[in-house]
Amino acid sequence: MTTKKRQPIVIAIDGPSASGKSTNARMVAKILNYLHVDTGAMYRTLGWYCLKNGIDVNDSLAVTKACRRWKATLQSSEGQVRLVVDGYYPAQEIRTSEVSAAVVHVAAVPKVREWMKRIQRECAQFGDLVMEGRDIGTNIFPESDFKYYLDAKIEERTRRRAAEGVTENLEARDRRDSQRATSPLMIALGARVINNSEMTAEQTSRLIIEDIEARLKLPRS
């Protein structure tokens, strides 16, 4: 008798900039021994690729062509699933202010988001995931039973960005993300909303972990 293989569990963590998605996704993945996927880094990688190759990020057609032609593949390494280009992961390069400015335009291209949806869903081939982004629960894995939407007051999110040495107009970014025609930022159906304005990352992660453990009937970690 053949035993049916269990489908990988995908924990979706969405939210606006500086809501704690990355920190908490990494913490939850480490505690549960799941793989971490930063989908924002994937868009940043394409933004970096466009800048590196002189592709105008304001030209949606040119960006679409680049996305279709670049040699990008998924790689599972050191507890993460990442998008590598010709086998290289630009870990430092994608965190520059230039790439931050470019990714806003790149991520708004509908054909790019279609391509990213396909590649991001393929991440499940590597096993159980904690995936962070802005449309994981609404667009990438809407069928997930584990959806969380992190948020915080704009003043707190701005403070967090400043502590990282980053100056960003979060209100404008929120507006662009929520008004985007393709896969806008929104709370997924069935998602648990966690406002962590006055919470530490450890407290936020603990809420998520306890919810997951209770629903999966796992022993408390």
pTM (global) more than 0.95: no
From the options 3.10.580.10, 1.20.1250.20, 3.50.50.60, 3.40.50.300, give the CATH code of 10-34+128-221: 3.40.50.300
pLDDT on residue 165: 81
Separation of alpha carbons 140 and 12, rounded Å: 9
Q: Give the CATH fold of the 39-126 domain.
A: Rossmann fold (3.40.50)
Q: Are strands 10-14 and 35-38 parallel, antiparallel or unpaired?
A: unpaired
Judge whether 18 and 152 are in contact, CB under 8 Å: yes
Q: What is the pLDDT of residues 26-85, one digit of tens each?
A: 999 999 999 999 999 999 999 999 999 999 999 999 999 999 999 999 999 999 999 999
**pLDDT grade for 86, boundaries at 50, 70 and 90:** very high
Looking at the chain, the whole-number percentage of residues with pLDDT higher than 90 is 79
pLDDT in the model for residue 1: 52
